[in-house]
Structure formats: structure tokens, C-alpha cells
Chain A
Amino acid sequence: EADIYQTPRYLVIGTGKKITLECSQTMGHDKMYWYQQDPGMELHLIHYSYGVNSTEKGDLSSESTVSRIRTEHFPLTLESARPSHTSQYLCASSERAPLNTEAFFGQGTRLTVV
């Protein structure tokens, strides 16, 4: 089993609230990712990081922000949640090298904004 954890697993919150989705991994991986996935739809990369103090925006524009102060921790923050943010958020990590390594996923956070 992969050692990558997301909390909370489920979150229902009101519009306008600030939320932080937590993601931690104990594998010492340099690369971490956040994906957004609606039910039955494809994964969209919204943020990634190559290591500490490195953060990049992904292919899908997102109002969320991320930080990478420690290798093992890659939290995602929404300053003001809206119903359009309702989705599943998946965190993943992989080794930086060699290239041919798999990405390990957390179990996801299912966010509902009401």
C-alpha cells in the first residue's frame, strides 16, 4: 500500500469558507501533484511540485493555491469556497528520478460546497 494520505476524506462546507485539503506522503518523494476529478470524468492536473519551495500550475486553471514547505506535505487551499468547487481532489506523488516510476495516489477528498 502507498504511504500517501489525504484528509479529510469527505467535506461539506458553506459558500465563502476558507478550506485547506491536506496531503502527506512518507515515501520521500520529490514530486507531488493535485488532480481534480468530477464523477465519471477525467483527471485534470491543477497543481504540481518538483520539491520544496517549488509549485507550478497544472493544465486546468484553478482558483486554489498550494504550498510545499516540507517534502512530505503538499496542502491545497481555497480562500473562498464556491459550489463550482464541488469535486473530488486527488493528491499523488512520485520519485523525481528515474523517469520510469509510478505515481501513487491518496484516497482523495470529496468536497461539496453548498
Chain B
Amino acid sequence: RKEVEQDPGPFNVPEGATVAFNCTYSNSASQSFFWYRQDCRKEPKLLMSVYSSGNEDGRFTAQLNRASQYISLLIRDSKLSDSATYLCVVNVLSGGYQKVTFGTGTKLQVIP
């Protein structure tokens, strides 16, 4: 089983739609969580951190469920510019060091 799992998609949604991605992680000692965005043939960039109480940044909402070991990303009112691959990232503190694990990514295609 992979440490961080995501549905690879692609998710093809019309403009204006709401879309949600889930990500599950296997290590219960995971301590911090992020969503990254990667455009085609570009490097990943941080979209938002995920806090225990959930957090929102404009049209984007991230939530964490520690009991079930999953995090989610909700995008409201999808724009064409949201088309990208969304990567779930989990950090685990192991032996005093931080281990960063990326999920495989979920591809989103917003259609006009």
C-alpha cells in the first residue's frame, strides 16, 4: 500500500462546477499536510497547507480527518485556469527528521 494515495483522475468538470479531491495516508504519525498544484511540464507549487480545523483560501477549502487519515480539497466555481494536477503531500517526523511524501496526484481538467 502506498503511503499517500490519490485518485489519479482525470476529473473532467464544466466551468463553475464544484469538485472535491480526497487523499488518504497510511502513517498515523503524519504531522503536517499540504496540497500542491502542478501545471503541465512545470514544477509543483504550494497551493495551501491543511490545518486540523480546516481552512479556506478563496474558492479552495482544505480539510483534515485524522481519525480516518484522509485530507480533502474542495474547489468551488471552477475556472479554466484551475486545470492542473493536484498533489497531496504528507510530512512525517521520523527519527528527528522530516520525511516528505507526495501522492501520485489527481488531474483536473475544467471544460468551457
Q: Which of B12-20, B38-46, B58-66, B70-78 contacts A (4 or more CB under 8 A)?
A: B38-46
Asked if B22 lies at the interface with its beta carbon under 8 angstroms from chain A, I say no
Counting CB contacts under 8 A, is A107 at the interface? Answer: yes
A residues within 8 A CB of B100?
Answer: 33, 45, 94, 103
Please, which residue of chain A has its CB at the minimum distance from the CB of B33?
A100
In whole angstroms, what is the CA distance A96 to B41 when docked? 28
Interface of B with A (CB < 8 Å)?
31-32, 34, 41-46, 49, 87, 89, 91, 93, 97-98, 100, 102-105
- Report the tally of A-B residue pairs with Cβ distances under 8 A: 45
Contact (Cβ within 8 A) A39 B41: yes
Residue pairs across A and B with Cβ atoms less than 8 A apart, 17 shown, are A31-B98, A33-B100, A42-B103, A43-B102, A45-B100, A88-B41, A90-B44, A94-B100, A96-B98, A99-B98, A100-B49, A102-B34, A102-B49, A103-B46, A105-B45, A107-B42, A107-B43
Complex: how many Å from CA A105 to CA B103? Answer: 16
**Interchain CB contact under 8 A, B93 and A99:** yes
Do B97 and A50 touch (CB < 8 A)?
A: yes
- Which residues of A are found within 8 Å of B49, using beta-carbon distances? 100, 102
